[in-house]
């Protein structure tokens, strides 16, 4: 027995950690926090330390990351090295196990040598874990920022893409999410007084404003920053949405904001469904008919899966709701536990 394991998913905007192996807990303890790494990379090691302490620490750590894409790094190579440096600073006595897109763990030293093997491998961790219990499924992990569409066929992860660019091309990565996605990246126009209106190409509003306005998330779920630095009330979200058509709440009423928000939400669903359909076309008759839903944006995943005629199953039923929201962090912890116990 190795004692508790901490699993980490280090993103460019969010940090997720899951602790497993406590005898009195059958579900992992999970912490998620918004952490804009690109703005304060120097704080990463301190945030890692603090997060570990809040979870009670652990002597064994499993790491996956997407943070290497953050634009504070010139290349992925630089990003991977930076994240591993931060772990070394935060936990000098622990050599973390780093998960790769090949489904294997390696030491930090080995990971540094092959950075593209460990860059953006978090989807593989979640899918590998799901494949243990559901041998045929499409994993739909819709997070704050991106949506993963990962086929699992006959107990194996059947994704075609390995790098992010390949995954974007195959539909296995759809860059839209429940919170951080700028509205101007989702739609080019929205309905306004019965006609379509172009939107401003500005970072005026994000997906969180849309879903908060529509009541699909609560203020407490709006964990990313607001574009204008104001609050997360429905009124403030509505003002941000009005600004997308260069208007304000003195010009538009609630009904107009709702029509705009519904249009944007529907566009996100269509975008994710487009990724699902691309994966379904590639797999043909072998494609699973069950979608397993994970992440903070299960409401988007559900709608997209239903649009594609899939049966939905919530990953929370299998691993608990906290672990399903922070799926890659819990997954690397569970997968490492398998290796360590062997």
Footprint (CB under 8 A) of a second copy, residues 217-276? 227-228, 230, 239-240, 243, 245-251, 271, 275
Give min distance, CB of 245 to a second copy, in A: 5
Which of 55, 81, 153, 168: binder of a second copy (CB under 8 A)?
168
DSSP track, 119-136: BT-HHHHHHHHHHHH-SS
Which range binds a second copy by CB under 8 A, 3-11, 148-156, 178-186, 317-325?
178-186
Q: Is 227 helix (H, G, I), strand (E, B) or coil?
A: coil
Question: Which of helix, strand or coil describes residue 129?
Answer: helix
Cβ-defined contacts of 227-232 (< 8 Å, 24+): 227/182, 227/203, 228/204, 232/208
Residue 296 contacts residue 319 (beta carbons within 8 Å): no
Instruction: Tell me the CA end-to-end span of the chain in Å, nearest whole number.
Output: 10
How many residues at the interface with a second copy, by CB under 8 A? 53
Closest CB to a second copy among residues 256, 315: 256
* Upper half-sphere CA count for residue 331 (Cβ side, 13 Å): 31
Distance CA 250, CA 125 (A): 48
Query: How would you classify the pairing of strands 29-34 and 195-198?
Result: unpaired
Residue span 95-134 as binding mask against a second copy, x where in contact by CB under 8 A, dash where not: -------------------------x--------------
Q: Judged by CB under 8 A, does residue 169 bind a second copy?
A: yes
Residue 75 sits in the site that holds a second copy (CB under 8 A): yes
Instruction: Identify the residue among 16, 19, 76, 232 touching a second copy (CB under 8 A).
Output: 76
Give the residues lining the site for a second copy (CB under 8 A).
38, 69, 71-72, 74-77, 120, 145, 163-165, 168-169, 171, 173-177, 181-182, 184-186, 188, 192, 195-204, 227-228, 230, 239-240, 243, 245-251, 271, 275
């Amino acid at each position: 027995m190795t004692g508790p394991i901490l699993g980490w998913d280090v993103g460019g905007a969010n940090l997720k950690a899951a602790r497993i192996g406590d005898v009195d807990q059958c579900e992992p303890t999970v912490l998620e926090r918004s952490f804009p790494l690109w703005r304060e990379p120097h704080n990463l090691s301190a945030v890692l330390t603090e997060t570990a302490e809040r979870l009670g620490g652990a002597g064994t750590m499993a790491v996956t990351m997407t943070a290497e894409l953050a634009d504070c790094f010139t290349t992925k190579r630089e990003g991977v090295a930076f994240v591993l440096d931060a772990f070394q600073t935060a936990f000098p006595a622990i050599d973390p196990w780093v998960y790769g897109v090949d489904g294997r763990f390696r030491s930090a030293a080995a990971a540094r040598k092959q950075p593209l093997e460990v860059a953006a491998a978090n989807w593989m961790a979640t899918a590998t874990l799901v494949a243990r219990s559901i041998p045929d499924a499409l994993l739909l992990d819709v997070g704050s920022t991106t949506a993963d569409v990962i086929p699992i066929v006959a107990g194996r992860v059947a994704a075609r893409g390995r790098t992010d660019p390949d995954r974007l091309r195959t539909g296995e990565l759809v860059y839209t999410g429940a919170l951080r996605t700028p509205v101007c990246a989702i739609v080019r126009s929205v309905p306004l007084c019965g006609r379509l209106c172009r939107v401003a190409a500005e970072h005026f509003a994000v997906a969180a404003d849309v879903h908060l306005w529509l009541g699909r998330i609560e203020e407490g779920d709006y964990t990313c920053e607001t574009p204008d630095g104001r609050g997360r009330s429905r009124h403030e979200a509505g003002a941000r949405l009005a600004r997308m058509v260069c208007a304000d709440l003195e010009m538009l009423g609630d009904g107009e904001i709702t029509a705009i928000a519904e249009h944007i939400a529907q566009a996100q669903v269509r975008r994710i469904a487009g990724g699902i359909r691309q994966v379904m076309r590639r797999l043909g008759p072998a494609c699973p008919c069950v979608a397993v839903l994970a992440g903070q944006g299960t409401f988007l995943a559900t709608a997209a899966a239903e649009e594609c005629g899939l049966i939905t199953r919530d990953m929370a039923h299998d691993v608990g709701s906290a672990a399903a929201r922070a799926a890659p962090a819990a997954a690397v912890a569970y997968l490492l536990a398998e290796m360590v116990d062997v």
